[in-house]
Structure 1
């Protein structure tokens, strides 16, 4: 993991490009803070103005905070190293408004009388700390680079920039479960990019690639189990820190020491635009890489975009090559990938394959099948209009051949000999590929037999009329191309607007602006719930409807969860499924607006006196009906994949509604039954064995989760499965189910009154109906059978509960 400087530079000639990545070049127009325009503190009812070039400087003068120019008439409010590096630029370490630069005139950063930090863009509020205090306050930049809002009387921090990092961690800055690093979009665009460094729900630090349509974890290697990556999930404190000597330690056991370990350096740890985390050390006014997390650049997801293969060499660094039959989308940004030169939807019968040995495209398998013959695997791809390629290889672990069907060609890179990809292309492209290869390999070398004839020819001058016609044709062609481009642009805009209107009519959704959401929630004031996908707030719309507003995180597949929920909820309509009113998709904001459920989630009611027997039975039946609708009555087959009490909401009459489809999976009704997923989904304690043992995933995974929820309702809080402290919940889950089944078998497969009283939640001891309770417990135990074929379908569950 440790990379020595000399070796790193020798194998990474592109280091010269990477180092300026965070040292923004617009600093040539920046005037270094001096004693005349700098201050130690910002007091209440005072501000820093962009025109006056006033700054806050740390006592040791290592760091400066203030307005920093990022472009023509565009400024960030930022913190940077005061000292210029060798190219004359400053190194930014924090930005308040990275996604919304402010104007170079009439913009200010203020500490109000009420204790709120406010950044305004020509009078319009752009950013705020959302703080408030009746005590005396002051804003100060510390020697550590931490900008703190201090309550003078208590010397406690009301707000600090260390709690809200952008893409950089400074020495001794805690990195926690509530913080994350997000890369910049490019070397010249400092808005939020595609890569995120964060703690996941398993207490492990990960790196995530996340754009509008694709989300994938790439570090640690996602196909490895946690302990195989030398990580631990057992410590739920979720905290990490880079100390001033150059040692990084995390609660998940991930540690490293920089190659220049010592005390006398200024350091920073940055998530760079290429998706790699590096530690930089300042040496002679230059930032030198003293460690990088990922040694192979092609292992970073999204580095070359779709339909492209990443290559790396010590001489030339990382490169991106379009697959045969594809062309580059944008020559200036290879991460955007390549577009096909043909139409995949036409003439599927006229397709063939090109063999690419040692090439892997990680993830996005629509399914893989064991023990299939090569020709059958080939036909499986040919008969699937969404198949872009397939992989066929021998798997040593199973001692058999595997067939993987790829619906998206992403994260392409060279692998060992076991990986072979067969690219699906029209026959004309297949023939041109092999013709080109043959021509290159077998063409004779005639260079030595060529005789150079030195002759000169007198060129006849072109007539004036011919020149006129030539230039006229060129100008006319340019006008036609311009008109065509304008027409395409206007048509595309019109189509986009029509699509938006159609979505509103077809689904009843409304697209809210971020300002509308902010006003409805009073700036996200009233939090009513939170989970891995985001935080839920209570809000009131203009028509006085009370709503729940789910603000998705930018991590944990936030955007992917948003897109999945939109595509799923727009296709369903059932009284036991949550109703969605609209959404917000503005800049980096991803927000859902849905109906407000007065009694919150089932998780908050378990083990309390609020759920009597009748309510519990109604909840179990209602949830079963909702899941049965998802599985069998939708136009598309929907798996929820995360059925648990937190995702079952209760209205004012305790009617249940299944919510949170952020982990859902859609298939067409005629899709293959045994479908595979590219990653494990759901919450431990409620997950079916198929997830753990990498078995085919069907609707029976939701049946299993439903059974665990019903058992939890019956058993009460004392036997809850949703524990995430010591990592032992999976074992406890199996033990509880095993003990229940043993007790049933001891009684000859009969559920006696004594048995029920032994396991029943004490709050329901004197209220339940014996026959109904036996029926419910029997259904739950059938649902949690380890063999999925022994579990009933959700429609069968509904029938059993209603009979």
Structure 2
């Protein structure tokens, strides 16, 4: 019997858990609340889900991710609405307005994100089977879609055009906007750009002309596209094919927080994603890997290793992208300044200029003459000549440093002659990143709400005071009433109050009648202090 009951309820449990998370559209003036776990939009094929996602302590962003396999701490996020302005975990919601606008509001009713759309006809919001969140009116017109405003991920069948960009996350645990972006430049070329304290393009190789990088600048359409089979093509003639080409694979093209763009593939609804293509195969050639004033080196079977330059210390041990800071004072006096040789170390970018056929002594003097020179790169390059030609590259900034035994050149760091050299370093694998704390911040206080809350607090305080006074009075009255039952109570007029038993005793059981009237009979009585009193017993008593 018990087994049959369990079997009877199993379908009900399964149906309840499944149906609670299958909202296919949002319409009318309805909303999705951050407080309701069942407020989830799901695509018709079940591949994608959209709801509020926790990004920190009491901080939530509305996001789209792959529904399966489901893991609370390991979701594959493909889009996020309010990535730079998370909302509170209470009373925040995504809602539709009668005006045709979809908005996200926080606990204080402040709008933190909006589609900025208007429609005279009713609108509804739904999640397409390809992972595209679409706001549509009743006539079938698309007012807004998430495919037109990507974050750091491009899905199959999603276009990247001249008005769009992919913007990396800040770190693996922080989904806010980072430093790197994929975009079409003014020459119609698809590029990767570092937008930190210093701005520079790092892919394709900035030292190459566009035609040398096999890119075309003549197609002004600026469109890039990843198809469902794993083939990527761009209007600048850049193409690549996934190592896992074909159907039955789910894919995402993602600009990772470490500045590299990668194509990830996995078998349909399987757990593990595999890198099937990446723009830069050498980890230390990825821009900004170890931050300024540092060196990246690659060790097989270990990964990347970041170390500060001699005379520098790490700025933040949990975030190598911030680099290292200088510990010495450098003057422009020639006789107080020297150079430290760093063999097989290259810093690319931020050259004061490049000087061919420049002897080592001339290059050294050139850097000494430039007060802002941080050091110089010196290497030999072989062209069509039988001997190598020396090149000099004075550096204004020390960024993108890396060590490679195959690099035929050296870096000469400008340092004080009195500097005690002590090289420091820390390991930095590709998975070690800073976990930035993200908490919900009240961005703007509501003045009316603030007044109402304060007024309610004041009224509440007054009510508590009144209740306290009344309670004290009642307690005192109760005590006085108890005393009256013991014949010690005197009313405010000064008369004495007697009980019926006391009156019976004083009149000897109402036995000595001394008078009678319309109201009742009068009896003679004697009190306990021997005073004679007349006691009238009323007829109604």
After TM superposition, the score normalised by the length of structure 1 is 0.48
1:257-276: CA deviation from partner (whole Å, max 9, x where unpaired) = 11111110111111111111
Aligned length: 403
For residues 349-748 of structure 1, what are the structure 2 equivalents within 5 Å? 349-397=335-383, 400-414=389-403, 416-429=406-419, 432=421
Equivalent of 1:51, from 32, 35, 42?
A: 35
Distance 1:432 1:231 in 2: 45
1:760-783: CA deviation from partner (whole Å, max 9, x where unpaired) = xxxxxxxxxxxxxxxxxxxxxxxx
Partner of 2:362, secondary structure, is: helix
Q: Which residue of 1 aligns with 2:438?
A: none
Q: Which residue of 2 aligns with 1:209?
A: 194
Distance 2:384 2:289 in 1: 31
For residues 60-209 of structure 1, what are the structure 2 equivalents within 5 Å? 60-84=45-69, 89-122=74-107, 123-153=109-139, 155-209=140-194
* Residues 311, 421 of structure 2: 8 Å contact kept: no
* Residues 310, 421 of structure 2: 8 Å contact kept: no
TM-superposed CA distance for 1:223, in Å, is: 0.5
Equivalent of 2:241, from 257, 278, 300?
A: 257
Q: Please tell me the root mean square deviation across aligned C-alpha atoms, in Å.
A: 2.3
Is 1:238 paired with 2:222?
yes
TM-superposed CA distance for 1:299, in Å, is: 1.2
Distance 2:36 2:171 in 1: 30
1:304-337: CA deviation from partner (whole Å, max 9, x where unpaired) = 1111111112211111111111111111111211
Distance 1:398 1:98 in 2: 53
* Residues 260, 278 of structure 2: 8 Å contact kept: yes
TM-superposed CA distance for 1:48, in Å, is: 1.0
1:353-383: CA deviation from partner (whole Å, max 9, x where unpaired) = 1122322111111233344332222122123
* Residues 294, 399 of structure 2: 8 Å contact kept: yes
Is 1:336 paired with 2:316?
no
* Residues 332, 368 of structure 2: 8 Å contact kept: no
* Residues 86, 285 of structure 1: 8 Å contact kept: no
Partner of 2:211, secondary structure, is: helix
* Residues 349, 382 of structure 1: 8 Å contact kept: no
Partner of 2:171, secondary structure, is: coil
Gap regions ≥5 residues in structure 1: 1-31, 437-513, 516-803
Distance 1:371 1:289 in 2: 43
Distance 2:17 2:275 in 1: 28
* Residues 314, 324 of structure 2: 8 Å contact kept: yes
* Residues 33, 55 of structure 1: 8 Å contact kept: no
TM-superposed CA distance for 1:433, in Å, is: 6.6
1:739-780: CA deviation from partner (whole Å, max 9, x where unpaired) = xxxxxxxxxxxxxxxxxxxxxxxxxxxxxxxxxxxxxxxxxx
* Residues 388, 407 of structure 1: 8 Å contact kept: yes
TM-superposed CA distance for 1:218, in Å, is: 1.0
Between the two structures, name the one with larger relative contact order (CA 8 Å, sep ≥ 6). Answer: 2
* Residues 330, 337 of structure 2: 8 Å contact kept: no
Q: Which residue of 2 aligns with 1:277?
A: 261
Identify if the C-alpha distance between structure 1 residues 85 and 311 changes in structure 2 by more than 3 Å, giving closer, same or farther: farther
For residues 275-354 of structure 1, what are the structure 2 equivalents within 5 Å? 275-283=259-267, 284-345=270-331, 349-354=335-340
Identify if the C-alpha distance between structure 1 residues 128 and 345 changes in structure 2 by more than 3 Å, giving closer, same or farther: farther
Partner of 2:224, secondary structure, is: strand
Distance 2:227 2:294 in 1: 39
* Residues 62, 143 of structure 1: 8 Å contact kept: yes
Q: Which residue of 2 aligns with 1:39?
A: 23
* Residues 152, 167 of structure 2: 8 Å contact kept: yes
Gap regions ≥5 residues in structure 2: 1-15, 425-442, 445-541
Partner of 2:366, secondary structure, is: helix
TM-superposed CA distance for 1:148, in Å, is: 0.5
TM-superposed CA distance for 1:385, in Å, is: 2.1
* Residues 85, 286 of structure 1: 8 Å contact kept: no
Partner of 1:221, secondary structure, is: coil
After TM superposition, the score normalised by the length of structure 2 is 0.71
* Greater fraction helix: 1
* Residues 363, 392 of structure 2: 8 Å contact kept: yes
1:593-628: CA deviation from partner (whole Å, max 9, x where unpaired) = xxxxxxxxxxxxxxxxxxxxxxxxxxxxxxxxxxxx
* Residues 44, 115 of structure 1: 8 Å contact kept: no
TM-superposed CA distance for 1:302, in Å, is: 0.6
* Residues 348, 385 of structure 1: 8 Å contact kept: no
Distance 2:316 2:283 in 1: 21
* Residues 98, 191 of structure 1: 8 Å contact kept: yes
Distance 1:180 1:208 in 2: 11
Identify if the C-alpha distance between structure 1 residues 33 and 202 changes in structure 2 by more than 3 Å, giving closer, same or farther: farther
1:44-94: CA deviation from partner (whole Å, max 9, x where unpaired) = 322111112311111111111111112221111111111135786321110
